[in-house]
């Protein structure tokens, strides 16, 4: 493994956090909040191993791998797939990311529907979805979405802290929390939910965004110096994101699961989800939750559109300038097609979970390509190639995602 720089202090690395924060900000969205609340409500603490332990280990392993790959080669993941594997692999990656991000955005629009429907009498959730899509698309066209992004991330941060405080306020069953984190078990009927819990954290497009972030920071110009920073930037934000994810699931398990057991509570709208915050916020819980859910939904949508555009243009060696025609065409596709698909949404919560499940099923495509590249002889040099531990963890992550995807398909067809 590469020799680590001795010059970095903890304070210095904290000031340099960048690509890893982008990854964490992207996976703490509508999908994470909704799937974690549904899992906690229906299953108590028993699926924390999937939403927290397994998902966070998988995202750490894969994101570190792709960041190390770009650090060593000076190329983004999209460029590497095209140049080192071939056009056929690029086409597969583009179809997976563009299609996956489109479905992912449908889920986020369902979050907009949940959070804003009925906010103003006479204004439907469908109209809100169109308004939100138009606004963020205009900002992307103008290249002026930075302020919106910072504002929304602030709101998501406040909501995350609220769940963290609430987790301690509701005094959960800590032994049950610990057991849920380390004991893998689930019923066949929960396959889609488990895959959704993983897909909402290990987001395929984040792999491409992370590699591009390393290049934009120019860390590849001195890989040995930035190696330690790259790992710190990857592991610390993702670990904190895992704590936030855990807090959502734990709060739902402590507050809503007893109601599910005693009164048959089911999560069908934002109002039921907001009940998880009532012990801490009281009557203000519903309003606050709607604002947070809206922020979580909108924070992910521009990134999904942009990442698809980056993957497409890098894969086919087109201009990656935000104002170039190919770039605009792709992010416009991923912005507007989801709205057309979302118009027929009747069950927003189920749609959000389905979108995360699709992400989980598409994950092995990108993960296999990364594993191949990082181990390819002469690609990154011996000091940056995977060791046996990283290869084992990466292989387990890929095999588990494939297993869950196949099981989900067979279950949907009624074959298992």
Q: What is the pLDDT of residues 107-117, one digit of tens each?
A: 999 999 988 88
Q: Is 312 helix (H, G, I), strand (E, B) or coil?
A: helix
How many CA atoms are closer than 13 Å to the CA of 303, on its beta-carbon side? 32
Per-residue confidence band for 28, with pLDDT thresholds at 50, 70 and 90 = confident
Q: How many residues make up the chain in this entry? A: 416
115 within domain boundaries: yes
Instruction: Output the pLDDT for position 79.
Output: 93
Which CATH number goes with the domain that contains 117?
A: 1.20.1740.10
Secondary structure E strands in 51-158: none
Which of these ranges, 24-33, 180-189, 200-209, has the smallest mean pLDDT? 24-33
| Number of folded domains that form the chain | 1
Closest CA to 135 of 123, 144, 124, 125: 144
Which of these ranges, 50-54, 125-129, 159-163, 268-272, has the smallest mean pLDDT? 159-163
Find the mean pLDDT for residues 182-186: 92
396 within domain boundaries: yes
Per-residue confidence band for 6, with pLDDT thresholds at 50, 70 and 90 = low
Instruction: Note whether 98 and 333 are within 8 A (CB).
Output: yes
Range of the domain at 110: 10-412
pTM (2 d.p.): 0.89
The Cα 379–Cα 49 span in angstroms is 35
- Over 80: is that where the pLDDT of 408 sits? no
- DSSP string of 2-37, one letter each residue: PPPPS---HHHHHHT--HHHHHHHHHSSHHHHHHHH
The Cα 342–Cα 132 span in angstroms is 13
Instruction: Output the pLDDT for position 416.
Output: 60
1 within domain boundaries: no
Instruction: Note whether 117 and 125 are within 8 A (CB).
Output: yes
Instruction: Output the pLDDT for position 296.
Output: 83
* Residues of the chain by 3-state class (helix, strand, coil), percent to 5: 80, 0, 20
- Over 80: is that where the pLDDT of 127 sits? yes
Q: What is the pLDDT of residues 195-239, one digit of tens each?
A: 999 988 988 899 998 998 899 889 999 999 999 999 999 999 999
325 within domain boundaries: yes
289 within domain boundaries: yes
2 within domain boundaries: no
Residues 6+ apart with CB under 8 A from 10: none
5 within domain boundaries: no
Find the mean pLDDT for residues 308-328: 90
Find the mean pLDDT for residues 373-402: 86
- Over 70: is that where the pLDDT of 147 sits? no
Instruction: Output the pLDDT for position 16.
Output: 84
Instruction: Output the pLDDT for position 234.
Output: 94
Instruction: Output the pLDDT for position 145.
Output: 61
The Cα 2–Cα 223 span in angstroms is 8
Instruction: Output the pLDDT for position 280.
Output: 84
Instruction: Output the pLDDT for position 362.
Output: 87
């Amino acid at each position: 493994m590469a020799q680590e720089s001795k010059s970095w202090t903890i304070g210095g690395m904290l000031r340099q956090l960048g690509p890893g924060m982008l990854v964490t900000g992207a996976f703490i969205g509508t999908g994470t909040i909704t799937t974690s609340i549904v899992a906690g409500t229906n299953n108590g603490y028993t699926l924390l191993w999937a939403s927290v332990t397994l998902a966070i280990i998988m995202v750490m392993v894969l994101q570190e791998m792709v960041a190390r790959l770009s650090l060593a080669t000076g190329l983004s993941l999209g460029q590497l797939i095209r140049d080192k594997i071939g056009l056929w692999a690029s086409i597969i990656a583009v179809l997976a990311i563009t299609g996956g991000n489109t479905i992912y955005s449908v889920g986020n629009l369902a979050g907009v529907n949940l959070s804003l429907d009925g906010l103003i009498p006479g204004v439907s959730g469908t109209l809100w979805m169109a308004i939100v899509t138009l606004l963020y698309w205009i900002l992307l066209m103008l290249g002026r979405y930075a302020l919106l992004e910072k504002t929304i991330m602030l709101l998501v941060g406040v909501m995350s802290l609220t769940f963290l405080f609430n987790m301690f306020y509701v005094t959960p069953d800590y032994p049950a929390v610990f057991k849920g984190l380390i004991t893998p078990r689930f019923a066949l009927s929960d396959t889609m939910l488990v895959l959704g819990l993983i897909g909402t954290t290990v987001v395929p497009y984040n792999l491409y965004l992370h590699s591009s972030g390393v290049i934009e920071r120019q860390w590849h110009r001195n890989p040995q110096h930035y190696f330690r920073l790259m790992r710190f930037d990857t592991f610390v934000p993702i670990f904190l994101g895992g704590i936030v994810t855990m807090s959502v699931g734990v709060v739902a398990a402590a507050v809503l699961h007893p109601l599910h057991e005693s009164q048959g509570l089911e999560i069908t709208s934002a109002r039921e989800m907001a009940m998880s915050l009532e012990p801490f916020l009281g009557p203000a819980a519903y309003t606050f939750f709607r604002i947070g859910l809206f922020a979580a939904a909108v924070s992910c949508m521009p990134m999904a559109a942009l990442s698809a555009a980056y993957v497409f243009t890098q894969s086919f060696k087109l201009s990656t300038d935000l104002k170039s025609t190919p770039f605009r065409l792709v992010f416009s596709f991923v912005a507007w097609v989801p709205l057309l698909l979302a118009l027929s949404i009747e069950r927003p919560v189920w749609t959000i979970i389905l979108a995360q499940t699709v992400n989980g099923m598409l994950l092995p495509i990108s993960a296999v390509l990364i594993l191949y590249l990082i181990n390819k002889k002469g690609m990154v040099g011996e000091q940056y190639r995977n060791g046996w531990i990283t290869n084992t963890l990466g292989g387990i992550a890929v095999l588990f995602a494939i297993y869950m995807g196949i099981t989900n398909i067979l279950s949907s067809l009624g074959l298992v």
